[in-house]
């Protein structure tokens, strides 16, 4: 027990110190984690061999990340990028493998080893690249999307590679392995003992299960769980989903990351999307962080120092080759200038799958262990350099190209992003108005029943408590242009407004208020527009009453106008003397003023022939005949 605690303590400590430091220095979190790993591993020797095992666990962070990426990507969007995926991705893997294989052969390796090296190095690091792209907000750019397509293709390509590598085995190495009595324990699999076609059927069935199950079963399941109204149970369900799918995928020999990615895409349209996102996100973050630390910690300084020259020159050559191939592809696929560089620099490293493949090559006697150790360092080193390449892109390349592009392209204004909290009687009307005006909204509601009801009328709503900062974040608070708080819980409304204002000084907040006092509070909390929930309808009822008493409708309209206007000015005056510390009825200044402004409102409305003309009375008043 203490051992585990100590380890956890060391890892967390390293992360807690290194990551904020790296961020402050503008280096990005990935580099922070990697550094932390180097410090606690090779440098200080706090952690040792167990990093290998921890790394396997931590790789699950990649699985979760792909699930989250999938959640952001609707099936339609995925289909739309199929050309990029196959074209860019396929060519990247094929060309990079070819060039590196050729080079390795030129350096005197046999073809089988060369090919294995080519395959290992053709892959890039999904973890580092996606994390960095997300962190910098480049995911949505053309370059970011292209990188993502390639990474996705690589994730798929790993599967045939895993199958191919054992076939490259060198006889002499194999013999040595056998005589040493080593045997690699095979993983549990559903496919053992099945004929090829049967295996194919089972595999396809598993994929189908993810898609169909995700589409039809997830909803009732999550609805059921949501009814319990226990946050941790929902989190458990979310984890269950991700782990379950990953398990199923590994049982049939498919990439777990790919499976969860697929599940994410299927669930991208689900009303539980944002809740899932906010539940999984912290796990993903921690695991990925852990993964990066283990990469840093796993660098073997002894081997490194023995071959510094080789490792460095190989790493730089690798990055140059990969970037070269990517630049070529960017040209062929006609990416913009800054996108080209982002694409080329972001994918120029080798990736975590490289570790897996290298381990496999050694196990299967494809590559001699000594060579594999050096290659492992090259993989790790190239990953280590990636954050630096990103910084290089951001600090030196991007500024220059942005100024160049500005003159050329017209900036296309992005569509406003609007979050609506609450889809009861109040929020629904707002949402319908916005939708019919062509805006897109993200609607959150805490009641699974309400969501289900409005879903029947075709209103898409996400499940979750908008008062939870992480959920608001998942719903896009960081990039939203407007937040509309339409829930009927006064305290929660204030929490949401306060939080949103703290996070986003510039966002426009429209808030539903219960009464006058609520208005003052929400004003202090930083809402821009505060609307008393019953005020307008009461005013309309008053107008109907006046019309019912045979007042000319346009006169009644003027009374409404006068009343609303003077109430508005009264609110403004009262807000100044209102003190949240004192109950309104005990605040003498407030009570006095409210009496006075009420009288003022009445004179404003009532027709008065006196010098102080009423708002209604003065409207369209011609000069008196005596004035002419």
Partner 1 sequence: MKKILVLYAHPAQRHSRVNSAMAARAQTLDDITFVDLYAEYPRFKIDVEREQQRLLQHDVIVLQFPMMWYSTPSLLKEWQDLVLEYGFAYGEGGDKLAGKTLALAISTGGSKDAFSTTGYQQHQLPDFLTPLRQTAHLCQLHCLPPYVLFGALSETNDADLNRHVDCYCQYLGGLRDQRLPADSIGTLPYFEAHQLTTLLETGA
Ligand X SMILES: Cc1cc2nc3c(=O)[nH]c(=O)nc-3n(C[C@H](O)[C@H](O)[C@H](O)COP(=O)(O)O)c2cc1C
Binding site for partner 1 (CB under 8 A): 552-557, 607, 617, 619-623, 625, 628
Q: Decide if 126 contacts 292 (C-beta within 8 A).
A: no
Closest to ligand X by CB, 193 vs 622, is 622
Classify 514 as helix, strand or coil: coil
| Closest distance of CB 430 from partner 1, Å | 21
Q: Indicate the length of the chain as a whole number.
A: 628
Residue 568 interface partner, choices partner 1, ligand X, none, CB cut-off 5-8 Å depending on type: none
Closest to partner 1 by CB, 481 vs 565, is 565
Closest to partner 1 by CB, 462 vs 563, is 563
What span, in angstroms and rounded, lies between the C-alpha atoms of 349 and 63? 20
What span, in angstroms and rounded, lies between the C-alpha atoms of 67 and 80? 19
H-helix segments, 25-141: 29-38, 51-58, 60-71, 75-80, 82-83, 90-106, 111-122, 126-136
Residue 12 interface partner, choices partner 1, ligand X, none, CB cut-off 5-8 Å depending on type: none
Classify 534 as helix, strand or coil: coil
Q: Decide if 37 contacts 80 (C-beta within 8 A).
A: no
Residue 59 interface partner, choices ligand X, partner 1, none, CB cut-off 5-8 Å depending on type: none
What span, in angstroms and rounded, lies between the C-alpha atoms of 342 and 318? 17
| Closest distance of CB 625 from ligand X, Å | 10
* 328-367: contacts with ligand X (CB under 6 A): none
Closest to ligand X by CB, 509 vs 616, is 616
Residue 181 interface partner, choices partner 1, ligand X, none, CB cut-off 5-8 Å depending on type: none
Cβ burial 204-219 (10 Å sphere, 16+ → b, else e)? eebbeebeebbeeebb
Q: Decide if 480 contacts 417 (C-beta within 8 A).
A: yes
| Closest distance of CB 625 from partner 1, Å | 4
Q: Decide if 190 contacts 251 (C-beta within 8 A).
A: yes
What span, in angstroms and rounded, lies between the C-alpha atoms of 551 and 46? 86
Closest to ligand X by CB, 305 vs 620, is 620
| Closest distance of CB 620 from ligand X, Å | 4
Contact between 171 and ligand X per CB under 6 A: no
Closest to ligand X by CB, 354 vs 614, is 614
The pairing of strands 440-445 and 508-513 is: unpaired
| Closest distance of CB 496 from ligand X, Å | 47
Residue 399 interface partner, choices partner 1, ligand X, none, CB cut-off 5-8 Å depending on type: none
| Closest distance of CB 429 from partner 1, Å | 18
Closest to partner 1 by CB, 188 vs 628, is 628
Cα dihedral across residues 322, 327, 330, 336: positive or negative = positive
Residue 79 interface partner, choices partner 1, ligand X, none, CB cut-off 5-8 Å depending on type: none
Q: Decide if 513 contacts 519 (C-beta within 8 A).
A: yes
Contact between 305 and ligand X per CB under 6 A: no
Classify 483 as helix, strand or coil: strand
Residue 555 interface partner, choices ligand X, partner 1, none, CB cut-off 5-8 Å depending on type: partner 1
User: Quick one: the chain helix, strand, coil %, rounded to 5?
Assistant: 70, 5, 25
What span, in angstroms and rounded, lies between the C-alpha atoms of 131 and 123? 16
| Closest distance of CB 143 from partner 1, Å | 48
Per the DSSP assignment, residues forming a β-bridge with 513 are 532
Closest to partner 1 by CB, 134 vs 607, is 607
| Closest distance of CB 621 from ligand X, Å | 6
What span, in angstroms and rounded, lies between the C-alpha atoms of 249 and 490? 46
Closest to partner 1 by CB, 324 vs 542, is 542
Binding mask 378-417 for ligand X (x = CB under 6 A): ----------------------------------------
* 589-628: contacts with ligand X (CB under 6 A): 620, 622
Contact between 505 and ligand X per CB under 6 A: no
Ramachandran sector of residue 45 (left: φ over 0; alpha: ψ -120 to 50; beta: rest)? left
Contact residues: ligand X, CB under 6 A: 620, 622
């Amino acid at each position: 027990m203490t051992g585990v605690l100590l380890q956890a303590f060391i890892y967390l400590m390293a992360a807690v110190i290194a990551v904020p430091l790296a961020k402050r220095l503008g280096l990005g979190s990935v580099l922070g984690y990697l550094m932390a790993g180097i410090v606690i591993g090779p440098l200080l020797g706090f952690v040792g061999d167990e990093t290998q095992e921890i790394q396997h666990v931590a790789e699950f962070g990649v699985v979760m990340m792909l699930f989250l990426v999938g959640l952001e990507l609707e099936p339609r969007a995925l289909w739309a990028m199929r050309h990029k995926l196959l074209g860019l991705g396929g060519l990247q893997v094929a060309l990079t493998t070819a060039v590196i294989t050729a080079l390795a052969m030129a350096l005197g390796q046999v073809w089988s080893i060369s090919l294995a090296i080519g395959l290992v190095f053709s892959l890039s690091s999904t973890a580092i690249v996606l994390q960095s792209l997300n962190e910098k907000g480049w995911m949505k750019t053309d370059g970011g999307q292209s990188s993502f397509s390639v990474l996705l293709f690589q994730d798929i390509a790993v599967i045939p590679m895993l199958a191919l590598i054992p076939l490259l085995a060198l006889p002499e190495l194999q013999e040595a392995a056998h005589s040493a009595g080593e045997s690699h324990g095979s993983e549990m699999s559903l496919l053992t003992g099945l004929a090829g076609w049967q295996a194919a059927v089972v595999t396809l069935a598993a994929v189908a299960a993810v898609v169909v199950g995700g589409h039809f079963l997830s909803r009732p399941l999550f609805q059921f769980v949501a009814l319990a109204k226990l946050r941790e149970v929902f989190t458990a369900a979310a984890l269950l989903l991700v782990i379950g799918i990953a398990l199923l995928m590994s049982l049939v020999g498919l990439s777990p990351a790919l499976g969860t990615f697929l599940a994410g895409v299927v669930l991208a349209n689900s009303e539980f999307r944002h809740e899932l996102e906010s539940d999984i996100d912290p796990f993903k973050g921690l695991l990925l962080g852990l993964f990066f630390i283990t990469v840093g910690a796993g660098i073997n300084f002894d081997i490194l120092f023995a071959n510094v020259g080789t490792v460095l020159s190989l790493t730089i050559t690798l990055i140059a080759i990969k970037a070269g191939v990517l630049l070529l592809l960017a040209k062929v696929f006609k990416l913009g200038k800054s996108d080209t560089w982002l694409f080329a620099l972001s994918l120029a490293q080798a990736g975590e799958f490289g570790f897996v493949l290298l381990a496999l090559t050694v196990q299967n006697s494809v590559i001699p262990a000594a060579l594999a150790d050096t290659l492992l360092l090259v993989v790790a080193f190239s990953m280590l350099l990636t954050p630096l390449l990103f910084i290089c892109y951001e600090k030196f390349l991007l500024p220059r190209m942005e100024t160049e592009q500005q003159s050329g392209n017209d900036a296309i204004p992005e569509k406003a992003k609007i979050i609506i909290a609450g889809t009861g009687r109040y929020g629904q009307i707002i949402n319908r108005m916005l939708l019919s005006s062509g805006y897109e909204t993200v609607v959150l509601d805490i009641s699974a029943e309400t969501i289900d009801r409005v879903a029947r009328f075709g209103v898409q709503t996400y499940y979750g408590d908008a008062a939870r900062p992480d959920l608001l974040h998942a719903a896009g608070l960081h990039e939203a242009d407007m937040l509309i708080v339409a829930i009927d819980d006064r305290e929660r409304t204030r929490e949401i407004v306060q939080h949103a204002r703290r996070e986003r000084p510039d966002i426009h907040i429209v808030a539903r208020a219960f009464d006058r006092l609520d208005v003052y509070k929400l004003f202090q909390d930083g809402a821009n527009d505060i609307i008393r929930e019953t005020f307008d309808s009461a005013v309309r009822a008053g107008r109907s009453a006046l019309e019912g008493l045979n007042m000319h409708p346009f006169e009644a309209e003027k009374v409404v106008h006068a009343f609303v206007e003077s109430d508005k000015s009264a609110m403004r005056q009262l807000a100044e003397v209102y003190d949240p510390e004192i109950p309104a009825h005990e605040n003498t200044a407030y009570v006095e003023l409210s009496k006075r402004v009420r009288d003022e409102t009445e004179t404003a409305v009532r027709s008065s022939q006196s010098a102080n003309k009423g708002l209604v009375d003065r409207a369209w008043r011609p000069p008196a005949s005596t004035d002419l």
